[in-house]
Chains A and B, each alone.
Chain A
Protein backbone atom coordinates (compact mmCIF):
# COMPACT_ATOMS: atom_id res chain seq x y z
CA UNK A 1 0.00 0.00 0.00
CA UNK A 2 1.49 3.37 -0.95
CA UNK A 3 1.70 6.42 1.28
CA UNK A 4 -1.39 8.16 -0.12
CA UNK A 5 -3.58 5.05 0.08
CA UNK A 6 -2.52 4.47 3.69
CA UNK A 7 -3.16 8.10 4.58
CA UNK A 8 -6.64 7.98 2.99
CA UNK A 9 -7.53 4.84 4.89
CA UNK A 10 -6.24 6.26 8.18
CA UNK A 11 -8.10 9.52 7.67
CA UNK A 12 -11.36 7.68 6.91
CA UNK A 13 -10.95 5.79 10.19
CA UNK A 14 -10.53 9.11 11.98
CA UNK A 15 -14.11 10.02 10.98
CA UNK A 16 -15.89 8.89 14.12
CA UNK A 17 -19.46 7.76 13.71
CA UNK A 18 -21.61 5.00 15.14
CA UNK A 19 -25.12 3.79 14.50
CA UNK A 20 -26.90 4.91 17.66
CA UNK A 21 -29.37 2.66 19.46
CA UNK A 22 -32.13 5.06 18.51
CA UNK A 23 -31.25 4.86 14.81
CA UNK A 24 -30.90 1.08 15.07
CA UNK A 25 -34.38 0.88 16.58
CA UNK A 26 -35.78 3.21 13.91
CA UNK A 27 -34.31 1.14 11.09
CA UNK A 28 -35.50 -2.11 12.64
CA UNK A 29 -39.04 -0.76 13.04
CA UNK A 30 -39.25 0.54 9.48
CA UNK A 31 -37.90 -2.73 8.06
CA UNK A 32 -40.52 -4.72 9.95
CA UNK A 33 -43.19 -2.39 8.62
CA UNK A 34 -42.56 -3.09 4.93
CA UNK A 35 -42.84 -6.11 2.67
CA UNK A 36 -40.36 -6.75 -0.15
CA UNK A 37 -41.92 -6.16 -3.58
CA UNK A 38 -41.39 -9.71 -4.81
CA UNK A 39 -43.14 -11.16 -1.75
CA UNK A 40 -46.02 -8.69 -2.03
CA UNK A 41 -46.43 -9.53 -5.72
CA UNK A 42 -46.44 -13.29 -5.23
CA UNK A 43 -49.04 -13.22 -2.41
CA UNK A 44 -52.22 -14.97 -3.65
CA UNK A 45 -55.32 -12.83 -3.97
CA UNK A 46 -58.52 -14.62 -3.09
CA UNK A 47 -61.68 -13.49 -4.82
CA UNK A 48 -65.08 -14.80 -3.89
CA UNK A 49 -67.22 -16.84 -6.32
CA UNK A 50 -69.89 -14.12 -6.38
CA UNK A 51 -67.26 -11.61 -7.64
CA UNK A 52 -66.45 -13.84 -10.66
CA UNK A 53 -70.16 -14.57 -11.30
CA UNK A 54 -71.16 -10.88 -11.22
CA UNK A 55 -68.27 -9.79 -13.46
CA UNK A 56 -69.10 -12.56 -16.00
CA UNK A 57 -72.74 -11.44 -16.10
CA UNK A 58 -71.71 -7.79 -16.56
CA UNK A 59 -69.37 -8.75 -19.44
CA UNK A 60 -72.04 -10.83 -21.19
CA UNK A 61 -74.61 -8.04 -20.85
CA UNK A 62 -72.17 -5.44 -22.26
CA UNK A 63 -71.35 -7.70 -25.25
CA UNK A 64 -75.06 -8.28 -26.00
CA UNK A 65 -75.78 -4.52 -25.88
CA UNK A 66 -72.92 -3.69 -28.29
CA UNK A 67 -74.05 -6.42 -30.77
CA UNK A 68 -77.64 -5.11 -30.67
CA UNK A 69 -76.59 -1.48 -31.25
CA UNK A 70 -74.32 -2.40 -34.18
CA UNK A 71 -77.00 -4.54 -35.89
CA UNK A 72 -79.86 -2.03 -35.41
CA UNK A 73 -77.96 0.86 -37.03
CA UNK A 74 -78.40 1.39 -40.80
CA UNK A 75 -75.49 1.32 -43.26
CA UNK A 76 -72.97 4.13 -42.85
CA UNK A 77 -73.59 7.11 -45.23
CA UNK A 78 -71.27 7.35 -48.22
CA UNK A 79 -69.11 10.49 -47.88
CA UNK A 80 -69.36 13.10 -50.64
CA UNK A 81 -66.39 13.44 -52.90
CA UNK A 82 -64.09 16.24 -51.92
CA UNK A 83 -62.45 18.74 -54.24
CA UNK A 84 -59.05 17.97 -55.57
CA UNK A 85 -56.14 19.47 -53.66
CA UNK A 86 -55.13 22.75 -55.36
CA UNK A 87 -51.80 22.72 -57.13
CA UNK A 88 -49.01 24.32 -55.02
CA UNK A 89 -48.16 27.91 -55.79
CA UNK A 90 -44.92 28.63 -57.51
CA UNK A 91 -42.50 29.06 -54.66
CA UNK A 92 -39.54 31.40 -55.18
CA UNK A 93 -36.24 29.59 -55.53
CA UNK A 94 -33.38 30.72 -53.34
CA UNK A 95 -29.98 31.07 -54.88
CA UNK A 96 -27.37 29.80 -52.51
CA UNK A 97 -23.89 31.08 -53.17
CA UNK A 98 -21.43 28.94 -51.34
CA UNK A 99 -17.73 29.50 -51.43
CA UNK A 100 -15.30 26.76 -50.51
CA UNK A 101 -13.05 27.62 -47.61
CA UNK A 102 -9.41 27.10 -48.48
CA UNK A 103 -7.07 26.20 -45.69
CA UNK A 104 -3.79 27.98 -45.94
CA UNK A 105 -0.63 26.02 -45.35
CA UNK A 106 0.25 27.56 -41.91
CA UNK A 107 -3.16 26.55 -40.53
CA UNK A 108 -2.77 22.99 -41.79
CA UNK A 109 0.65 22.86 -40.20
CA UNK A 110 -0.84 24.15 -36.93
CA UNK A 111 -3.50 21.39 -36.95
CA UNK A 112 -0.86 18.73 -37.54
CA UNK A 113 1.17 20.08 -34.61
CA UNK A 114 -1.89 20.09 -32.33
CA UNK A 115 -2.83 16.54 -33.33
CA UNK A 116 0.67 15.35 -32.63
CA UNK A 117 0.64 17.08 -29.18
CA UNK A 118 -2.70 15.44 -28.42
CA UNK A 119 -1.35 12.00 -29.33
CA UNK A 120 1.66 12.49 -27.07
CA UNK A 121 -0.56 13.57 -24.16
CA UNK A 122 -2.82 10.54 -24.65
CA UNK A 123 0.16 8.18 -24.60
CA UNK A 124 1.47 9.81 -21.41
CA UNK A 125 -1.89 9.36 -19.64
CA UNK A 126 -2.17 5.73 -20.84
CA UNK A 127 1.32 4.99 -19.48
CA UNK A 128 0.39 6.55 -16.12
CA UNK A 129 -2.80 4.49 -15.91
CA UNK A 130 -1.09 1.24 -16.89
CA UNK A 131 1.57 1.91 -14.28
CA UNK A 132 -1.00 2.37 -11.49
CA UNK A 133 -3.73 -0.20 -12.19
Chain B
Protein backbone atom coordinates (compact mmCIF):
# COMPACT_ATOMS: atom_id res chain seq x y z
CA UNK B 1 0.00 0.00 0.00
CA UNK B 2 1.46 3.42 -0.96
CA UNK B 3 2.02 6.14 1.60
CA UNK B 4 -0.88 8.15 0.17
CA UNK B 5 -3.21 5.15 0.29
CA UNK B 6 -2.31 4.39 3.90
CA UNK B 7 -2.86 8.04 4.89
CA UNK B 8 -6.25 7.98 3.14
CA UNK B 9 -7.18 4.79 5.00
CA UNK B 10 -6.20 6.33 8.35
CA UNK B 11 -8.03 9.59 7.58
CA UNK B 12 -11.15 7.63 6.64
CA UNK B 13 -11.11 6.17 10.13
CA UNK B 14 -11.20 9.73 11.50
CA UNK B 15 -7.52 10.65 11.94
CA UNK B 16 -7.20 14.40 11.35
CA UNK B 17 -3.42 14.15 11.67
CA UNK B 18 -3.24 11.63 8.81
CA UNK B 19 -5.44 13.88 6.69
CA UNK B 20 -3.25 16.93 7.44
CA UNK B 21 -0.20 14.97 6.28
CA UNK B 22 -2.09 13.76 3.22
CA UNK B 23 -3.03 17.22 1.95
CA UNK B 24 0.23 18.96 2.88
CA UNK B 25 1.61 18.45 -0.62
CA UNK B 26 -1.47 19.89 -2.32
CA UNK B 27 -2.17 22.96 -0.17
CA UNK B 28 0.07 25.49 -1.90
CA UNK B 29 -0.99 24.47 -5.40
CA UNK B 30 -4.63 24.76 -4.38
CA UNK B 31 -4.08 28.14 -2.73
CA UNK B 32 -2.32 29.44 -5.84
CA UNK B 33 -5.23 28.29 -8.00
CA UNK B 34 -7.83 29.74 -5.59
CA UNK B 35 -6.00 33.08 -5.58
CA UNK B 36 -6.70 33.40 -9.28
CA UNK B 37 -10.40 32.63 -8.78
CA UNK B 38 -11.32 34.76 -5.73
CA UNK B 39 -11.49 38.48 -5.04
CA UNK B 40 -9.02 38.66 -2.15
CA UNK B 41 -6.22 36.75 -0.47
CA UNK B 42 -8.44 36.22 2.59
CA UNK B 43 -11.18 34.70 0.40
CA UNK B 44 -8.65 32.33 -1.16
CA UNK B 45 -7.49 31.22 2.29
CA UNK B 46 -11.11 30.71 3.41
CA UNK B 47 -11.84 28.73 0.26
CA UNK B 48 -8.79 26.54 0.90
CA UNK B 49 -9.91 25.89 4.48
CA UNK B 50 -13.47 25.05 3.34
CA UNK B 51 -12.13 22.73 0.65
CA UNK B 52 -10.00 20.78 3.11
CA UNK B 53 -12.80 20.57 5.67
CA UNK B 54 -15.25 19.29 3.05
CA UNK B 55 -12.69 16.83 1.75
CA UNK B 56 -12.12 15.42 5.25
CA UNK B 57 -15.82 15.31 6.04
CA UNK B 58 -16.76 13.49 2.83
CA UNK B 59 -13.61 11.40 2.43
CA UNK B 60 -15.75 8.25 2.37
CA UNK B 61 -17.07 9.34 -1.05
CA UNK B 62 -13.55 9.50 -2.56
CA UNK B 63 -13.11 6.93 -5.30
CA UNK B 64 -9.48 5.62 -5.37
CA UNK B 65 -9.71 5.18 -9.15
CA UNK B 66 -9.27 8.98 -9.38
CA UNK B 67 -6.13 10.85 -8.49
CA UNK B 68 -6.52 12.43 -5.08
CA UNK B 69 -5.62 15.86 -6.53
CA UNK B 70 -8.43 15.52 -9.10
CA UNK B 71 -10.93 15.01 -6.30
CA UNK B 72 -9.55 17.91 -4.25
CA UNK B 73 -9.73 20.28 -7.22
CA UNK B 74 -13.30 19.26 -7.87
CA UNK B 75 -14.27 20.20 -4.32
CA UNK B 76 -12.30 23.46 -4.57
CA UNK B 77 -14.07 24.44 -7.79
CA UNK B 78 -17.48 23.68 -6.27
CA UNK B 79 -16.58 25.84 -3.26
CA UNK B 80 -15.51 28.75 -5.45
CA UNK B 81 -18.71 28.50 -7.53
CA UNK B 82 -20.77 28.52 -4.35
CA UNK B 83 -18.86 31.55 -3.01
CA UNK B 84 -19.55 33.37 -6.26
CA UNK B 85 -23.24 32.53 -6.31
CA UNK B 86 -23.56 33.90 -2.76
CA UNK B 87 -21.78 37.16 -3.71
CA UNK B 88 -24.27 39.75 -4.89
CA UNK B 89 -21.56 41.84 -6.51
CA UNK B 90 -19.86 40.56 -9.64
CA UNK B 91 -16.27 39.50 -9.06
CA UNK B 92 -15.14 41.66 -11.97
CA UNK B 93 -16.44 44.76 -10.16
CA UNK B 94 -14.44 43.97 -7.07
CA UNK B 95 -11.21 43.52 -8.91
CA UNK B 96 -9.15 46.52 -9.74
CA UNK B 97 -5.43 46.88 -10.10
CA UNK B 98 -4.95 47.71 -6.41
CA UNK B 99 -7.22 45.12 -4.75
CA UNK B 100 -6.49 42.23 -7.11
CA UNK B 101 -4.76 39.54 -4.99
CA UNK B 102 -3.07 38.09 -8.05
CA UNK B 103 -1.49 41.45 -8.84
CA UNK B 104 0.17 41.52 -5.41
CA UNK B 105 1.42 37.96 -5.59
CA UNK B 106 3.06 38.08 -8.99
CA UNK B 107 6.77 38.66 -8.99
CA UNK B 108 7.81 41.88 -10.73
CA UNK B 109 8.55 41.42 -14.41
CA UNK B 110 8.76 43.50 -17.58
CA UNK B 111 5.86 41.66 -19.17
CA UNK B 112 2.36 40.71 -18.10
CA UNK B 113 1.84 37.32 -16.48
CA UNK B 114 0.01 35.04 -18.93
CA UNK B 115 -2.42 33.90 -16.24
CA UNK B 116 -3.61 37.47 -15.71
CA UNK B 117 -4.19 37.70 -19.40
CA UNK B 118 -5.95 34.30 -19.37
CA UNK B 119 -8.26 35.42 -16.61
CA UNK B 120 -9.23 38.47 -18.64
CA UNK B 121 -9.79 36.65 -21.89
CA UNK B 122 -11.05 33.16 -21.04
CA UNK B 123 -14.23 31.98 -19.40
CA UNK B 124 -13.95 30.46 -15.90
CA UNK B 125 -14.19 26.86 -17.09
CA UNK B 126 -11.70 27.28 -19.92
CA UNK B 127 -9.32 29.09 -17.55
CA UNK B 128 -9.59 26.22 -15.06
CA UNK B 129 -9.07 23.63 -17.80
CA UNK B 130 -5.90 25.44 -18.93
CA UNK B 131 -4.62 25.66 -15.34
CA UNK B 132 -5.21 21.97 -14.64
CA UNK B 133 -3.56 20.99 -17.90
CA UNK B 134 -0.47 23.19 -17.86
CA UNK B 135 0.19 23.74 -14.15
CA UNK B 136 -1.14 20.54 -12.58
CA UNK B 137 -0.27 18.29 -15.56
CA UNK B 138 -3.69 16.62 -15.47
CA UNK B 139 -4.86 14.41 -18.31
CA UNK B 140 -7.77 15.49 -20.51
CA UNK B 141 -9.90 12.77 -18.88
CA UNK B 142 -9.15 14.04 -15.37
CA UNK B 143 -9.91 17.61 -16.38
CA UNK B 144 -13.26 16.59 -17.84
CA UNK B 145 -14.03 14.79 -14.56
CA UNK B 146 -13.10 17.83 -12.45
CA UNK B 147 -15.19 20.18 -14.58
CA UNK B 148 -18.02 17.69 -15.07
CA UNK B 149 -17.77 18.16 -18.85
CA UNK B 150 -17.34 15.79 -21.76
CA UNK B 151 -13.89 14.85 -23.02
CA UNK B 152 -14.58 16.47 -26.39
CA UNK B 153 -15.67 19.74 -24.71
CA UNK B 154 -12.41 19.72 -22.77
CA UNK B 155 -10.30 19.09 -25.86
CA UNK B 156 -12.00 21.77 -27.94
CA UNK B 157 -11.80 24.38 -25.16
CA UNK B 158 -8.17 23.62 -24.36
CA UNK B 159 -7.45 24.22 -28.01
CA UNK B 160 -9.37 27.52 -27.95
CA UNK B 161 -7.58 28.61 -24.78
CA UNK B 162 -4.23 27.77 -26.33
CA UNK B 163 -5.02 29.72 -29.48
CA UNK B 164 -6.07 32.79 -27.48
CA UNK B 165 -2.99 32.76 -25.26
CA UNK B 166 -0.68 31.89 -28.15
CA UNK B 167 -1.92 34.99 -29.96
CA UNK B 168 -1.28 37.04 -26.81
CA UNK B 169 2.23 35.62 -26.44
CA UNK B 170 3.07 36.33 -30.08
CA UNK B 171 1.66 39.83 -29.74
CA UNK B 172 4.00 40.49 -26.81
CA UNK B 173 6.95 39.16 -28.80
CA UNK B 174 6.06 41.41 -31.75
CA UNK B 175 5.74 44.44 -29.43
CA UNK B 176 9.16 43.70 -27.93
CA UNK B 177 10.72 43.46 -31.38
CA UNK B 178 9.19 46.70 -32.57
CA UNK B 179 10.41 48.43 -29.37
CA UNK B 180 13.90 47.06 -29.95
CA UNK B 181 13.97 48.35 -33.52
CA UNK B 182 12.46 51.67 -32.49
Quick check: is A117 within 8 A (CB to CB) of the other chain?
no
Quick check: is A18 within 8 A (CB to CB) of the other chain?
yes
Interface of A is mostly: helix
Using a CB-CB cutoff of 8 Å, which residues 16-49 of chain B contact chain A?
16, 19-20, 27-28, 31-32, 35-36, 41, 44-45, 48-49
B113 close to A11 (CB less than 8 A): yes
B59 close to A19 (CB less than 8 A): no
Contacts of B138 in A (CB 8 A): none
A4 close to B165 (CB less than 8 A): yes
B52 close to A16 (CB less than 8 A): no
Closest Cβ of chain B to A20, distance in Å, is: 8
A36 close to B162 (CB less than 8 A): no
Interface of B is mostly: helix
Closest Cβ of chain B to A121, distance in Å, is: 12
- Find the B residue at minimum CB distance from A10: B114
Quick check: is B83 within 8 A (CB to CB) of the other chain?
no
Instruction: Tell me the count of chain B residues lying within 8 A, CB to CB, of chain A.
Output: 46
Point out the residue from B49, B52, B59, B162 that lies within 8 Å of A4, measured CB to CB: B162
Contacts of A36 in B (CB 8 A): 11-12, 14, 56-60
Contacts of B159 in A (CB 8 A): 125, 128-129, 132
- Find the B residue at minimum CB distance from A32: B16
Quick check: is B131 within 8 A (CB to CB) of the other chain?
yes
Contacts of B140 in A (CB 8 A): 133
Give Cα A133–Cα B158 distance, bound, in whole angstroms.
10
Closest Cβ of chain A to B23, distance in Å, is: 9
Quick check: is B86 within 8 A (CB to CB) of the other chain?
no
Quick check: is B169 within 8 A (CB to CB) of the other chain?
yes
**Which listed segment binds B: A23-31, A94-102, A105-113?**
A23-31
Chain A window 6-26, contacts with chain B (Cβ cutoff 8 Å), 1 for yes, 0 for no: 011101101111110001001
Residues in chain B within 8 A of chain A (CB atoms): 11-14, 16, 19-20, 27-28, 31-32, 35-36, 41, 44-45, 48-49, 52-53, 56-60, 102, 105-107, 109, 113-115, 130-131, 134-135, 140, 155-156, 158-159, 162, 165-166, 169
